[in-house]
Copies of this chain bind each other. A is one copy, B any other.
């Protein structure tokens, strides 16, 4: 198994190792998985090709890295103003998401699984406060994926910088702002050392899915009991990892605020309103690319619309009442 993460890194590296261990244990020792961190077998951004070609049997990575090969892939990680994790599971497990994902990845010779999740992210670290949409104009902002495209359309100069270089870029002023994940991961990255303002909510990444990939030929020839083991191990680890991060985020945020003087801010309403509109435009543009992308956008939107209606009646009024 080759990963896009550093071996044994907290969060991503740990959930991948735990998944491998679950599969090994459930197989009663029939399956042995050797783990390669980013750069050991192939680089972080070559995991899809390595698994597709059989250089590796399996991979642990994130679908938005493959936007250059298939534009819809980012939707299986996160969509700005899209589904939250529980709704993303509705889509993948019950509303046709898995079949579309399989179809999208088939030409690359891999079978994908929803394997981990970093949950609702934060909006990122800013050297200066954002008072209105105007303050985004010309802002040099580290943000990849569909979220980067949304901020670009809002006037920011979005760039993608590899994770190990984000902190240095913020510190030296190469960028004015940067997002990574949430408090637990961001604390470890040390962004608080050069940027005082930490914005929420992470509307660009309301979901943070990681994927487990299996070489398609290998998968098709695995006995049914082993296929079943892999499916159940991914199902179990996804929710275990998602809720581990929810568990770890609040104390990390407390530490950032109380020990490091970080100031938590909410994006102004005009930014949220404009970003939501632009997020729909980005999906509209995706839908015009080709048939499979159009069908993925349509399926995603059908899930989103029905889940939002349900959320407006149940989850949202409950959370609002509980917070008052």
Q: Is the CB of A315 within 8 A of B84?
A: yes
A238 to B89, CA, bound (A): 12
Instruction: Answer yes or no: A49 CB below 8 A from chain B CBs.
Output: no
A322 and chain B: residue at smallest CB distance? B81
Instruction: Answer yes or no: A264 CB below 8 A from chain B CBs.
Output: yes
User: Shortest Cβ distance from A126 into chain B, in angstroms?
Assistant: 15
Q: How large is the interface on A (under 10, 10 to 19, 20 to 34, 35 or more residues)?
A: 35 or more
A85 and chain B: residue at smallest CB distance? B86
Binary per-residue interface labels of chain A (166-187) against chain B in the complex, 1 for a CB within 8 Å, 0 otherwise: 0000000000000000100000
Instruction: Answer yes or no: A102 CB below 8 A from chain B CBs.
Output: no
A320 to B182, CA, bound (A): 19
Q: Is the CB of B86 within 8 A of A306?
A: no
Interface residues of A (CB under 8 A from B): 22, 25-26, 28, 81, 84-87, 89-90, 93-95, 120-122, 182, 200-203, 206, 225, 228-229, 232-233, 235-236, 238-240, 242-244, 246-247, 249-251, 253, 264, 266, 272-273, 276, 306-324
User: Shortest Cβ distance from A1 into chain B, in angstroms?
Assistant: 18
Q: Is the CB of A272 within 8 A of B200?
A: no
Q: Is the CB of B243 within 8 A of A318?
A: no
**Can you report 13 A-B residue pairs in the complex whose CB atoms are below 8 A from each other?**
A84-B315, A86-B243, A93-B244, A94-B247, A95-B247, A120-B314, A121-B314, A122-B314, A203-B318, A206-B318, A232-B232, A235-B239, A308-B323
A86 to B319, CA, bound (A): 13
Of B206, B232, B240, the contact of A93 (CB 8 Å cutoff)? B240
Residues of B within 8 A of A324 (CB): 272-273, 276
Of B25, B247, B310, B320, the contact of A90 (CB 8 Å cutoff)? B247
Of B26, B120, B251, B318, the contact of A232 (CB 8 Å cutoff)? B26
Q: Is the CB of A250 within 8 A of B26?
A: no
A309 to B246, CA, bound (A): 11
Residues of B within 8 A of A235 (CB): 235-236, 239-240
Residues of B within 8 A of A236 (CB): 232, 235-236
A121 to B90, CA, bound (A): 17
A228 to B89, CA, bound (A): 23
Q: Is the CB of A246 within 8 A of B200?
A: no
User: Shortest Cβ distance from A86 into chain B, in angstroms?
Assistant: 6
Q: Is the CB of B244 within 8 A of A94?
A: yes
A253 to B242, CA, bound (A): 28
Q: Is the CB of B307 within 8 A of A322?
A: no
User: Shortest Cβ distance from A313 into chain B, in angstroms?
Assistant: 5
Apart from A86-B243, A86-B246, A203-B322, 10 more pairs, CB < 8 Å:
A26-B228, A81-B321, A90-B246, A94-B243, A201-B313, A201-B314, A201-B315, A238-B239, A250-B306, A251-B306
A295 to B264, CA, bound (A): 32
Residues of B within 8 A of A229 (CB): 26
A36 to B60, CA, bound (A): 41
